[in-house]
A and B are shown apart, each in its own frame.
Chain A
Amino acid sequence: MRHPLRTSAGLAGAVLVALMVILAIIGPPIWGATAERIDSAAILQGASAAHPLGTDNLGRDILARVLVAGRLSLTLALLATLIGAGAGTVLGALPSVLPRRLGRLVTGTVNALVAFPGLLLSMFIAVVTGLGARGAVLGIGAAIAPGFARLTQTLAASVAKADYVAAARMLRVPRRRVMTRHILPNIAEPLILNLTQALGGALLALAGMSFLGLGVQPPSFDWGRLLFDGFSRIYATPAVALGPAVAVALAGIGFNLLGDALANAASRKPTPARKARLRAAPDTTGLGEPAPEAVLEVRDLTVAFPGGVTPVRGLSLTIAPGEIIGLVGESGSGKSLTASAIGGLVPYPGEVSAGRLRLCGADVRELPEAERRKLLGTSLAMVFQDPMASLNPALKVGGQLAEVATVHQGASRAEARGRALDRLGHVHIPEPARRARQHPHELSGGMRQRVVIAMGLMGSPRLIIADEPTTALDVTVQRQILRLLREVTDETGAATLFISHDIAVVGELCDRVVVMYAGRVVEELPVEELASGAAHPYTRALVASLPDMETDRSRPLASIPGRQPSPAELAEADGTAGGCAFAARCELATARCAQRPPLVDHGKAHRVACWEA
């Protein structure tokens, strides 16, 4: 939990609320007498040195009255909030205790009441109870209750569905104990947070009621009542309304800002310290001649985030037309960021630098903006992991496809539509014309992934980047998508960069495999050598730890002790010698591994970064 007062808004809110509380405590004893002192010589005055905010119809000092009224305003608001929160929490918890039908009735009532504005409910209660503070407090309490009830309900329902509650039930933990140990602690925090905001809301609502003359009645007075008195005089002496208005506004702002800050602090994960750090352009000498026929040529690609976190470190990669390269690694190895960097999609504040970044023979960083957009928009196709999330739910399938052709290739709508249907047929979608008219949610997961691939084919793709395209799919559908990728690569002569955590899938589809660990390439090898010819101990362990249909069931699986260091941990280690990142988990590690091994040739089309290989 990030400290709520670290933000200036949170701090301002806390200070304002603290001031209000102090005022409520010290106000009446200090200024109480002044506030009640009637002075017939000073009736209805404007601002003066003696009375900075003027006087009322009995000559009482308005500033003193504002300072004294804080206590009543705050107390009534607190009372209304407690009534509302108490009633609401009970109402929200009832459905889980009551018989089903009765519970549904309560839920329905709450849902209906939530829609009614608080002021309306308060006015209703005010009619019934008559004018006065009691009616206003009850009314505003009644207005707060439905919101709290609904919050309690949704929170309790979501916690009750959690796996840890299921686990507790299976362990025969008594119902009451599940309630007190699991459900209450996990819903209490958001409920308490909501109290702060509800308190601010109650204060404003009470002020509103009193301002309308429906709340606190003389001789009592709160800020709303003072505003009511002052309002009739603002044409002559605007200053008399200033005091109570400012007090109400400050109180409202204070509670709201504090509530916001508390809620943010509770929900947000800690953000790493941000230190902007500009990276010098890498040395471009000694990169050798560009490979003219390569679709993609990357030299020394680095992705860095502020604070020295560098998830991708000096990666080099060349892909020829018609080739499928598999980029494999565990989560946190930097493989997906590599894909983003090549596609120019690294999110702020990440910084990409590279000695060379050539797509279709042109360095994308040197192209003018318009040409770069066109090149990347038509020659590069991307496929992401979750086909459910890769298509815009609001737009029809056909329109999303046709867009590329109209935007980048100047096609007319009819041409673009024709091409879209053609491409849908290309990826084996039956009845393309009907599918094109549908929204993505009407298609199955495998079908959607086909649509995404078809979208990439709308231009004239030279490079397809597929980032875990089958991870969210069933194995039988995965098979079909893998075949489709191979087919498309063969037909179009495009190159494919296939990113996966699953070395078996990579082994099945790809021609060449690039293994990443902790941001660096540790091995690059032809797929035929993956099963038995891998040289890096990490690659070998990955292959061995993965059970396949031939694994010996009588022997334990290989596993790698420890875990991959995160980019943040690596950043800390950067200050020190910076040896092989895998050494800590490697059984072959020697003293030499304190030096980082370079990626060197290891036989034909095979490179490895290991001293012991």
Chain B
Amino acid sequence: MIIKNLTVRFGAFTAVDDVTLEIPSGAIVGLVGESGSGKSTLARAVAGLVPYTGAVEGCDQRRVQMVFQDPQASLDPRMTVGASVAEGLRLPRAARQAEVERLLSLVSLPAALAGRYPRELSGGQRQRVAIARALCARPEVLVADEITSALDVSVQGAVLNLVRSLREELGFSMLFISHNLAVVRYVSDVVAVMHRGRLVEMGPTEDVVGTPKDGYTRSLIDAVPRLGRS
């Protein structure tokens, strides 16, 4: 997928300013930036949820799916887990249940959870359900917007591992958005840095993290807390 000259304006405010970004097939592109940098708006634009100017090419936009930050808000409280996961399926009723079970097992959840409601699940389980729902459309590109920010540290690792193994298994490409550079570095093949709506730096992960060219990227790397640095 290639994002070309993408711009999003809200009235007089330019949230995303002329961003061009390639997401190579099968790769994970990490997008890092602080609050207000426009990274989430870019994600929503790529997913077709906000109007934009510019182009998103090389991928049927119907095959773009998104996982949101807060799994509590992204699952309809009145629908069972099974119904949520099956929402994008165009299958006869009989085949549907088997497919839901397959999707739940992909995200390492027991099939028995299909009859439960989101409020009965833990935060990590809810986020797995949201991922399974996105997978039901067999996405070419998965947009993950701060998917671990609302989770506890001990759960975060498991979700990150899941995302990586799913990419291996299913071969989709991914736009992984986070404010946490260490997480982005761990997950991504390519890192892009956004600042005040603009893309300030982009390149293979080791290059960007190891030899940053942009001053803002450097200050971001400096600011990452490290154990026992003082």
Asked if A and B form a direct contact in the complex, defined as CB atoms under 8 angstroms apart, the reply is: yes
| B9 at interface by CB-CB < 8 Å | no
Nearest CB in chain A: distance from B49 CB, A: 5
Interface residues of A in 106-164 (CB under 8 A from B): 162-164
The reply to whether B35 and A557 contact each other, CB–CB distance below 8 Å, is: no
| A386 at interface by CB-CB < 8 Å | no
What is the bound-complex CA distance between A186 and B154, given in angstroms?
33
| B52 at interface by CB-CB < 8 Å | no
What is the bound-complex CA distance between A563 and B156, given in angstroms?
12
Q: Which of A3-11, A248-256, A295-303, A504-512 faces chain B?
A: A504-512
Nearest CB in chain B: distance from A368 CB, A: 40
Do A548 and B49 form a contact, CB below 8 Å, given A162-B73, A185-B78? no
Which residues of the partner chain A approach B93 to less than 8 Å between Cβ atoms? none
The reply to whether A164 and B76 contact each other, CB–CB distance below 8 Å, is: yes
The reply to whether A171 and B137 contact each other, CB–CB distance below 8 Å, is: yes
What is the bound-complex CA distance between A547 and B209, given in angstroms?
14
Interface residues of A in 540-585 (CB under 8 A from B): 541-543, 545-549, 551, 553, 556-561, 563-564
Residue of A nearest to B133 (CB): A167
The reply to whether B74 and A164 contact each other, CB–CB distance below 8 Å, is: yes
| A268 at interface by CB-CB < 8 Å | no
What is the bound-complex CA distance between A382 and B5, given in angstroms?
47
Interface residues of A in 306-355 (CB under 8 A from B): 330-331
Which residues of the partner chain B approach A162 to less than 8 Å between Cβ atoms? 73-74, 76
Residue of B nearest to A541 (CB): B154
What is the bound-complex CA distance between A548 and B186, given in angstroms?
8
Do A549 and B221 form a contact, CB below 8 Å, given A164-B74, A172-B62, A507-B226? yes
Q: Which of B18-26, B97-105, B109-117, B175-183 faces chain A?
A: B175-183
| A181 at interface by CB-CB < 8 Å | yes
Which residues of the partner chain B approach A476 to less than 8 Å between Cβ atoms? 34, 219-220, 223
Do A551 and B49 form a contact, CB below 8 Å, given A171-B137, A542-B154, A563-B155? no
Which residues of the partner chain A approach B122 to less than 8 Å between Cβ atoms? 563
Which residues of the partner chain B approach A49 to less than 8 Å between Cβ atoms? none
What is the bound-complex CA distance between A171 and B136, given in angstroms?
9
The reply to whether B227 and A530 contact each other, CB–CB distance below 8 Å, is: yes
What is the bound-complex CA distance between A203 and B134, given in angstroms?
50
The reply to whether A169 and B226 contact each other, CB–CB distance below 8 Å, is: no
The reply to whether A531 and B228 contact each other, CB–CB distance below 8 Å, is: yes
Nearest CB in chain A: distance from B74 CB, A: 4
Residue of A nearest to B84 (CB): A164
Interface residues of A in 424-482 (CB under 8 A from B): 474-476, 478-479, 482
What is the bound-complex CA distance between A547 and B222, given in angstroms?
16
Interface residues of B in 71-88 (CB under 8 A from A): 73-79, 84, 87-88
Which residues of the partner chain B approach A486 to less than 8 Å between Cβ atoms? 230
Residue of B nearest to A486 (CB): B230
The reply to whether A530 and B182 contact each other, CB–CB distance below 8 Å, is: no
Max chain A C-beta neighbours (<10 A), residue from B62, B122, B160, B228: B228
Selected from B66, B74, B154, the residue in CB contact (under 8 A) with A545 is: B154
The contact size tier of chain A is: 35 or more
Nearest CB in chain B: distance from A469 CB, A: 13
Which residues of the partner chain A approach B87 to less than 8 Å between Cβ atoms? 167-168, 171, 173
Selected from B75, B136, B182, the residue in CB contact (under 8 A) with A548 is: B182
Which residues of the partner chain B approach A557 to less than 8 Å between Cβ atoms? 157-158, 160-161, 186
Chain B 186-229, CB-CB to A under 8 Å as 1, else 0, gives 10000000000000000001000100000000011111111111
Do A502 and B153 form a contact, CB below 8 Å, given A479-B222, A543-B227, A548-B227? yes
What is the bound-complex CA distance between A479 and B220, given in angstroms?
10
The reply to whether B88 and A504 contact each other, CB–CB distance below 8 Å, is: no
What is the bound-complex CA distance between A383 and B76, given in angstroms?
36
Do A559 and B161 form a contact, CB below 8 Å, given A168-B87, A547-B185? yes
What is the bound-complex CA distance between A557 and B130, given in angstroms?
21
| B65 at interface by CB-CB < 8 Å | yes
The contact size tier of chain B is: 35 or more
| A528 at interface by CB-CB < 8 Å | yes
| A182 at interface by CB-CB < 8 Å | yes
What is the bound-complex CA distance between A130 and B98, given in angstroms?
65
The reply to whether B224 and A559 contact each other, CB–CB distance below 8 Å, is: no
The reply to whether B88 and A173 contact each other, CB–CB distance below 8 Å, is: yes
What is the bound-complex CA distance between A508 and B122, given in angstroms?
30
Nearest CB in chain A: distance from B135 CB, A: 11
| A527 at interface by CB-CB < 8 Å | yes
The reply to whether B228 and A501 contact each other, CB–CB distance below 8 Å, is: no
Residue of B nearest to A480 (CB): B223
Nearest CB in chain B: distance from A213 CB, A: 48
Residue of B nearest to A510 (CB): B230
What is the bound-complex CA distance between A170 and B87, given in angstroms?
11
| B48 at interface by CB-CB < 8 Å | yes
Which residues of the partner chain B approach A482 to less than 8 Å between Cβ atoms? 225
The reply to whether A549 and B209 contact each other, CB–CB distance below 8 Å, is: yes
Residue of B nearest to A500 (CB): B225
Which residues of the partner chain A approach B180 to less than 8 Å between Cβ atoms? 475
What is the bound-complex CA distance between A507 and B230, given in angstroms?
8
Do A527 and B228 form a contact, CB below 8 Å, given A164-B73, A167-B133? yes
Selected from B48, B75, B221, the residue in CB contact (under 8 A) with A170 is: B48
Which residues of the partner chain B approach A330 to less than 8 Å between Cβ atoms? 152-154
Which residues of the partner chain B approach A553 to less than 8 Å between Cβ atoms? 185-186, 205
Which residues of the partner chain A approach B84 to less than 8 Å between Cβ atoms? 164
Do A167 and B130 form a contact, CB below 8 Å, given A474-B34, A504-B226, A553-B185? yes
What is the bound-complex CA distance between A212 and B125, given in angstroms?
61
The reply to whether A542 and B226 contact each other, CB–CB distance below 8 Å, is: no
The reply to whether B225 and A508 contact each other, CB–CB distance below 8 Å, is: yes
Which residues of the partner chain A approach B156 to less than 8 Å between Cβ atoms? 545-546, 559
- The 8 A-B residue pairs whose C-beta atoms are closest, nearest first, are A171-B88, A507-B227, A559-B157, A163-B74, A557-B157, A559-B158, A545-B157, A474-B34
Q: List 27 A-B contacts (CB under 8 A).
A: A167-B87, A168-B87, A171-B88, A171-B136, A474-B34, A476-B34, A479-B223, A486-B230, A504-B225, A504-B226, A507-B228, A507-B229, A508-B230, A531-B227, A531-B228, A545-B157, A547-B160, A547-B186, A549-B224, A553-B186, A557-B157, A559-B154, A560-B157, A561-B158, A563-B122, A563-B152, A564-B154
